[in-house]
Amino acid sequence: MAKSLGILLTGRIASGVIEGQTPCSSIHHFPDNFDDTDSLLDMPLDGLIELVCEQSTRAVAECGPVQSVGLALPGIVRDGVVEDSPNLVQLKGARIAERMRQTLGKSGISAPVTVLNDADAIAAGVAAKHDRLDSFIRIWALGYGIGFGRYPFTAGIWEGGHAVVTLEAGETFCGCGGRGHLEGIMGYRAMRLRFLDMEPEEVFANAKTGDKRCNEFVRLWHRSLAAATSNSIHMEGPGRFYYTGTNIHFLDLKLLQQYLQQMVKMSPLQSYSLEIVPMSDDLVVSGVAIAATQAVKT
Ligand SMILES: [Zn+2]
C-alpha cells in the first residue's frame, strides 16, 4: 500500500508516515514542549524549511520510503505557493512545494510534495477517521487563528475564518487587519488583544461565574461561529459540520445550536448536523498524507 509523509507546520511541527490510512511511524513533534507555540513564528524561511525537513526525515527513517509528501500549513495556498499566511508571515510568497521537494531530496527523500491549508488537512483527517471519505464535510478549527476546511478538497480560497460576522466599527482584532472578522472575535490571539487584563481561559471561566463582560463576550463568540456556519449553509447547503482545534474546549455545542436555529429558518436548509472532534496533530498529519496520496493518483 502507498506510503505518504504527512507534515503539519503551524506554531509547531508534527510529522509522520501514513500507510493507506494508518500511521506506520510514530508522530514526531517539534518542539517537544507543547506549550511552546511561538518558537517558529520568528524563524527565517530558510531555517524553517531546513528544520521541517530535518524533523520529517526521522519519520521516514522509521518506515520509508514514501511515494508522496503532504504539507499542511495555515494560509492561502495555490499550486504549491503560499500566497498569504498572516500567522506565519515568513511563508508569504514562498514556492514552498518546490523548496520542500529540493530540501527533502538532499536527504534522499524523493517524492512529489502537495501543500494544503491546514484546515483542509484536518477535514481530510476527520473524513478518514469517521469513514466519510466519500462525502462532503466542513470543519471549523478553533485555535490561534480560525480555520475553515472542506473535504473533498475543492479549488478556491475558503478563508472562512475571515468571514465578516459583525459590522461594529470597533471589531479590529483580526491578524489580517480586516474589520469585523470571525477570527478577530474567536481567535486566541484576538481574544488576548481584546482582554489585555486576562487570558482567554480566565474569560471563559469568569463567564461561568456570572461576570457580565465575560458572559457577553462568550455569547458573542458563539453567535459569531453560528453566523459563519449559517453563512456557509446558505451558500453551500446543509450537511455535516465538525468543530475541532486547540480551543475546542471553549465551545458549548448547545449554545451554538441555539443561535444557529435563530439564523437558519428555511426548512430545506435545516438538515445540518454539528459534531465536536478532539484536535490532535495525528489527525492533521494523517489528513494531509491521505490528501497527498490522492493528489499523486489523480
Ligand atoms: Zn481577518
Q: Give residue for cell 518546490.
A: 98
Taking the centre of ligand 1 as the mean of its atom positions, its distance from the CA of residue 183, in whole angstroms, is: 6
Q: Give mean pLDDT, residues 279-288.
A: 93
Q: Give mean pLDDT, residues 18-47.
A: 86
Taking the centre of ligand 1 as the mean of its atom positions, its distance from the CA of residue 74, in whole angstroms, is: 13
Taking the centre of ligand 1 as the mean of its atom positions, its distance from the CA of residue 224, in whole angstroms, is: 13
Sign of CA dihedral 19, 20, 22, 23: positive
Phi, psi angles (nearest 5°) of residue 138: -125, 145
Taking the centre of ligand 1 as the mean of its atom positions, its distance from the CA of residue 148, in whole angstroms, is: 12
Q: Where are the alpha helices (DSSP H) in the chain?
A: 45-63, 96-106, 118-129, 182-186, 188-194, 200-208, 212-236, 253-263, 281-297
Predicted confidence (pLDDT) at residue 37 exceeds the cutoff of 80: no
pTM for the whole structure: 0.88
Give the residue among 61, 85, 59, 83 at the shortest CA–CA distance from 73.
Answer: 85
* Set of cell numbers at residue 75: 494560509
Taking the centre of ligand 1 as the mean of its atom positions, its distance from the CA of residue 113, in whole angstroms, is: 28
Residues 123-163 pLDDT 10s: 999 999 888 888 899 999 999 899 999 999 888 888 999 99
Taking the centre of ligand 1 as the mean of its atom positions, its distance from the CA of residue 177, in whole angstroms, is: 6
Give the residue among 47, 30, 41, 56 at the shortest CA–CA distance from 292.
Answer: 56
Taking the centre of ligand 1 as the mean of its atom positions, its distance from the CA of residue 179, in whole angstroms, is: 7
- Indicate the average pLDDT of the chain: 93
| 238/285 Cα distance (integer angstroms) | 27
Taking the centre of ligand 1 as the mean of its atom positions, its distance from the CA of residue 155, in whole angstroms, is: 20
Confidence (pLDDT) at 296: 87
Strands (E), 22-86: 22-23, 28-30, 68-73, 76-78, 81-84
Predicted confidence (pLDDT) at residue 58 exceeds the cutoff of 90: yes
- Per-residue confidence band for 34, with pLDDT thresholds at 50, 70 and 90: low
Give the residue among 13, 160, 129, 158 at the shortest CA–CA distance from 73.
Answer: 13
Q: Give mean pLDDT, residues 256-265.
A: 98
Strands of 146-151's sheet, edge to edge?
146-151, 137-142, 240-244, 273-276
Taking the centre of ligand 1 as the mean of its atom positions, its distance from the CA of residue 193, in whole angstroms, is: 14
Q: Give mean pLDDT, residues 64-78.
A: 93
Taking the centre of ligand 1 as the mean of its atom positions, its distance from the CA of residue 182, in whole angstroms, is: 7
